[in-house]
């Protein structure tokens, strides 16, 4: 039996209805903050946009432009230079932390409980694009925001900031409301299998809200973790989010994505472990230099003060 928080009891339109007004106020405040940041640092701002960096080096913490090499150009989001970009926020904070403390002990401490790491330097990669055969994806494949590979655990981590939720499909606006799904998504059997057997979501019914549309990126991350983990590794789906974003902190009857995912994936016999932490909680644990601490505070309003 599912609880009221379980994703089986929700749909994309229902979540939007709960969060719509609070999110608009939140996003407006974020945008004004980034406009003010770039107004105070005109040398970093793009000439044609009020809250976009001129290039990826200007978007990152001072002295860390080399981190751009960790983000393949083919996998950079369309708006990755925007102040609101979760991709560059993650690259700046997690990239610096991983370079300064390669053991990733800070990540284990933040996302725990996790199996104790067995490697002194776990492998990690931003925007790891999966091979087509991993999830049977054609023509476009899943990219994991941050993939961490330790002999004890395989972590697929989704990094969010100002997004309207966990990430929906690209089938169009009718997919969420009447399950008008694209042929490409319908053909991805592994997605639907994980949605049914792991998330215990209801079956897709044309004319009704699609259960996969609004849970899309969560399902893909879980499917990827299960497919990539070796027999001796624990598959883990991790989420890092903004505690101020109504879609994640909760609004009205919607308690937020972390709570909903825990209610959905925390069964005793679940084949994957779900862990989550906000940027606000994680930041004090990160081994950052002073330039990155300043960047996090001045640009993103994030403080290392616990």
Q: What is the pLDDT of residue 45?
A: 98
pLDDT of residue 71: 95
Distance (Å, whole) CA 218 – CA 250: 17
* Cβ(256)–Cβ(220) below 8 Å: no
Helix or strand run (H / E) with residue 223: helix 216-228
Q: What is the DSSP letter of 276?
A: E
- C-alpha to C-alpha distances, 142 to 1, 75, 139, 154, 223, nearest whole angstrom: 31, 10, 10, 16, 10
Looking at every residue in the chain, the average pLDDT score rounds to 96
Residue-level pLDDT at 267: 87
Residues 6+ apart with CB under 8 A from 129: 72, 74, 75, 141, 142, 143
Q: What is the pLDDT of residue 145?
A: 97
Instruction: Say which residue the tokens 């989704």 belong to.
Output: 158
* Structure-block tokens of residue 34: 């980034």
What pLDDT score does 13 carry? 94
Give the pairing of strands 234-241 and 153-159.
parallel
pLDDT of residue 116: 95
User: Average pLDDT of 91-104?
Assistant: 98
Residue ranges per domain, the chain? 7-300
Q: Is the pLDDT of residue 247 over 90?
A: yes
Cα separation, 242 vs 258, in Å, equals: 11
β pairing state of 153-159 and 123-129: unpaired
Chain centroid to Cα 25, Å, comes to 21
- Write down the pLDDT at residue 172: 80
17 vs 13, 23, 227, 262, CA distance in Å?
Answer: 6, 10, 34, 21
The pLDDT of residue 176: 84
Per-residue model confidence as pLDDT tens digits over 147-178: 999 999 999 999 999 999 999 998 887 888 99
d(CA 142, CA 259): 24
DSSP state of 251: B
Joined together, the tokens standing for residue 286 give 């990160």
What per-residue confidence (pLDDT) applies to 304?
85
End-to-end CA gap in the chain:
38
Model confidence band, residue 64 (pLDDT cutoffs 50, 70, 90): very high
């Amino acid at each position: 039996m599912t609880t009221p928080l379980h994703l089986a009891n929700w749909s994309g339109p229902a979540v939007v209805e709960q969060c719509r007004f609070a999110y608009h106020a939140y996003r407006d405040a974020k945008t004004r903050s980034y406009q003010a940041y770039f107004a105070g640092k005109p040398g970093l701002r793009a000439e044609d946009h009020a809250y976009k960096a001129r290039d990826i080096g200007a978007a990152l913490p001072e002295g860390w432009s080399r981190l751009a090499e960790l983000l393949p150009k083919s996998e950079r989001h369309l708006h990755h230079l925007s102040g609101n970009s979760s991709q560059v926020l993650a690259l700046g904070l997690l990239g610096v932390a991983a370079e300064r403390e390669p053991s990733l002990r800070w990540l284990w401490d933040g996302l725990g409980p996790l199996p104790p790491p067995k490697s002194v330097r776990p492998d990690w990669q931003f925007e790891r694009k999966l091979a087509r055969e991993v999830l049977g994806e054609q023509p476009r494949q899943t990219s994991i925001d941050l993939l961490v590979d330790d002999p004890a655990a395989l972590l697929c981590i989704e990094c969010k900031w100002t997004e309207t939720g966990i990430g929906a499909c690209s089938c169009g606006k009718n997919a969420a409301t009447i399950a008008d799904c694209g042929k490409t998504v319908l053909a991805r059997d592994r997605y639907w299998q994980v949605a049914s057997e792991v998330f215990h979501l209801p079956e897709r019914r044309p004319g009704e809200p699609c259960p996969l549309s609004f849970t899309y990126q969560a399902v893909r991350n879980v499917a990827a973790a299960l497919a990539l983990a070796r027999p001796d590794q624990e598959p883990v789906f991790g989420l890092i989010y903004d505690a101020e974003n109504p879609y994640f902190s909760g609004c009205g009857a919607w308690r937020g994505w972390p709570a909903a995912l825990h209610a959905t994936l925390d069964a005793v016999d679940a084949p994957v472990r779900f862990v989550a932490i906000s940027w606000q909680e994680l930041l004090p644990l990160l081994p950052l230099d002073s330039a990155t601490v300043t960047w996090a505070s001045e640009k993103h309003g994030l403080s290392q003060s616990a």
